[in-house]
Amino acid sequence: MESTNQSLKPITTKINESGNLEIGGCDLVDLAEKYGTPLYVIDEATLRSICADYKHAFASYNKVNMMFASKSLCTMATSAILAQEGFGFDVVSSGEIYTVYKAGADMSKVLFNGNNKSIDELTLALEVGVGRISVDNFLELALLDQIAKSQNKIVDILLRITPGIECHTHEYIQTGHLDSKFGFDLTQIDEAVDLILNDYTNLKLHGLHAHIGSQIFETKVYHDEIEILVKELARLDEKFGLKLDEINIGGGLGVKYTEKDVPPSTFEIAQVIINSLNESIKKYGIEPPALFLEPGRSIISTSGTTLYTIGSSKQVPHGKKYVAIDGGMSDNPRPSMYQAEYSAEIANKKENAALQTVTIAGRFCESGDILIKDIELTEPLRGDILCVYNTGAYNYSMASNYNRVQKPQMVIVNNSKSDIIVSRETLEDLISHDIVPDRLK
Cβ–Cβ under 8 Å, residues 131 and 109? yes
CA–CA gap between residue 400 and residue 293 (Å, rounded): 29
Using DSSP's 3-state secondary structure scheme, residue 406 falls into coil
CA–CA gap between residue 18 and residue 83 (Å, rounded): 36
Residue 435: burial class (beta carbons within 10 Å; 0-12, 13-18, 19+): exposed
CA–CA gap between residue 111 and residue 249 (Å, rounded): 13
Q: E strand or H helix at 207, and its extent?
A: strand 203-209
Q: Is 365 a catalytic residue?
A: yes
Q: E strand or H helix at 158, and its extent?
A: strand 155-162
Handedness of CA 376, 379, 380, 385 (dihedral sign): negative
From 26, 51, 74, 365, the catalytic residue: 365
CA–CA gap between residue 394 and residue 332 (Å, rounded): 8
What residues pair up with 372 in beta bridges, in sequence order?
Answer: 360
Rg value, the chain, Cα: 23
Cβ–Cβ under 8 Å, residues 345 and 13? no
CA angle 111, 107, 87 (to 5 degrees): 70
Distances (CA, A) of 439 to 175, 435, 436: 47, 11, 8
What is the DSSP secondary-structure string of 263-303? PPPHHHHHHHHHHHHHHHHHHHT-PPPEEEE---HHHHTTT
Render the burial of 313-342: b for 16+ CB within 10 Å, e for the rest: eeeeeeeeeebbbbbbbbbbbbbbebebbb
What residues pair up with 324 in beta bridges, in sequence order?
Answer: 361
Q: Which residues are known to be catalytic?
A: 365
